């Protein structure tokens, strides 16, 4: 790794693979909005996207075609172009001296690759061998809310139902939702091409492939495995159902958390009130709780509807509702926060 940072931070050379996609655009915006201390930014994408211009810090950057020679001189490379591209090009970037922060599923369950949500397990970032994995969007959003609770009380089981937005399926799915909604409002027919079912005014089981043995789909299995890994709880029982809903970009989760002891809703609120990355939205009088419309475009994960789960007569289960921006905390923002944590830890070790 050739990132060497000393206070004040040296400014690394940064590249983004998949810069023109939905997450790539949010990576660019997050680097700019958070004032990430880079010296230069390279935008990489497929040949068909090469030549596009994207604004960054008052200048237009030209998108370059991704090749095996693209990483010379790079210090940090964000990958957001799918697992196939990551598996091929991430090792090349590492050999060129860069640290890779990968947003695909390619390396998430590799025991040699840290899987990081900085608020939950930032200390697990090092050691690494040049690649750091960014989690599945649901696992990232969920663990921001769960990690502060786990630090206080032992979690013995999770049950999660997700309400996942179009952005999780990419920019094309977001456009399909817009088009389908406009057609429905105009009384016109619309045939889906990106997702398998009509999207406007509808919801359906997440479209990931179903595992014939368990009956769970690939999204659900990823969330289970990754949540366990982030929380360092490899045998944590997790039940989950993932549903696609007609929302543009923020995921919501209904979570029931069973603890090894009685935990009151008041103590959970107190623990979450000052937790990093969490914003409490829990106003019973106004019936105001987390909503994807309010989570969209903000960095914090909204947590509320905190109450004792009446389905558990022991009183050891807390139910809550969570909303988080899938493109931000579920993808681009978390990746940028990983890079920030990397710089901070490198500076302290120097």
Residue 74 is among the residues annotated as catalytic for this protein: no
Calpha distance 213→207 (Å, rounded): 17
Contacts from 279-286 at CB under 8 Å and sequence distance 24+? 279/303, 280/304, 282/306
Closest of 247, 228, 246 to residue 238, by C-alpha: 228
- Which residues lie below 8 Å from residue 162, measured CB to CB, with a gap of 6+? 138, 206, 223, 240, 241, 242, 243, 251, 252, 253, 254
Taking the C-alpha atoms of residue 316 and residue 208, their distance in angstroms, rounded to an integer, is: 33
**CA distance readout (Å), 132 to 39, 128, 146:** 21, 7, 21
- Residue of 74, 128, 242, 251 with catalytic role: 251
Tokens of 265: 């809703």
Distance CA 22, CA 15 (A): 16
Q: Which of 137, 197, 206, 288 is catalytic?
A: 137
137 a catalytic residue: yes
State the Cα–Cα distance between residues 137 and 131, nearest whole angstrom. 18
Catalytic residue IDs: 137, 251
């Amino acid at each position: 790794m050739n990132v060497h940072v000393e206070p004040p931070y040296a400014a690394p050379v940064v590249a983004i693979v998949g810069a023109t996609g939905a997450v790539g655009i949010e990576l660019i915006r997050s680097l700019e909005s958070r004032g990430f201390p880079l010296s230069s930014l390279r935008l990489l994408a497929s040949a068909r996207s090469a030549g596009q211009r994207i604004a960054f810090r008052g200048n237009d950057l030209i998108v370059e075609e991704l090749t095996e020679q693209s990483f010379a001189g790079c210090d940090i490379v964000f990958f957001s172009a799918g697992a196939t591209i990551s598996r091929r090009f991430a090792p090349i970037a590492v050999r060129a001296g860069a640290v890779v922060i990968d947003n695909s599923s390619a390396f998430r369950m590799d025991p040699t690759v840290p899987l990081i949500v900085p608020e939950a397990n930032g200390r697990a970032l090092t050691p690494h061998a040049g690649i750091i994995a960014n989690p599945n969007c649901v696992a990232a959003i969920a663990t921001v809310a769960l990690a502060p609770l786990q630090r206080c009380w032992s979690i013995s089981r999770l049950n999660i139902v997700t309400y996942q937005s179009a952005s999780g399926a990419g920019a094309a799915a977001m456009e399909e939702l817009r088009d389908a909604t406009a057609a429905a409002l105009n009384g016109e027919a619309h045939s889906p091409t990106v997702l398998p079912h009509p999207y406007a005014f509808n919801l359906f089981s997440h479209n990931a492939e179903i595992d014939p043995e368990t009956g769970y789909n690939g999204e659900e299995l990823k969330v289970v495995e990754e949540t366990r890994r982030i929380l360092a709880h490899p045998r944590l029982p997790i039940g989950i159902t993932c549903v696609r809903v007609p929302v543009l970009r923020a995921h919501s989760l209904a979570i029931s958390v069973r603890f090894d002891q009685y935990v009151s809703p008041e103590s959970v609120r107190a623990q979450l009130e000052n937790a990093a990355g969490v914003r409490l939205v829990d106003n019973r009088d106004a019936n105001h709780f987390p909503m994807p419309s309010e989570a969209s475009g903000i960095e914090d994960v909204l947590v509320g509807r905190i109450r004792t789960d009446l389905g558990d007569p022991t009183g050891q289960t807390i139910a809550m509702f969570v909303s988080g921006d899938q493109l931000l905390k579920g993808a681009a923002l978390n990746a940028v926060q990983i890079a920030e944590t990397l710089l901070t830890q490198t500076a302290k070790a120097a």
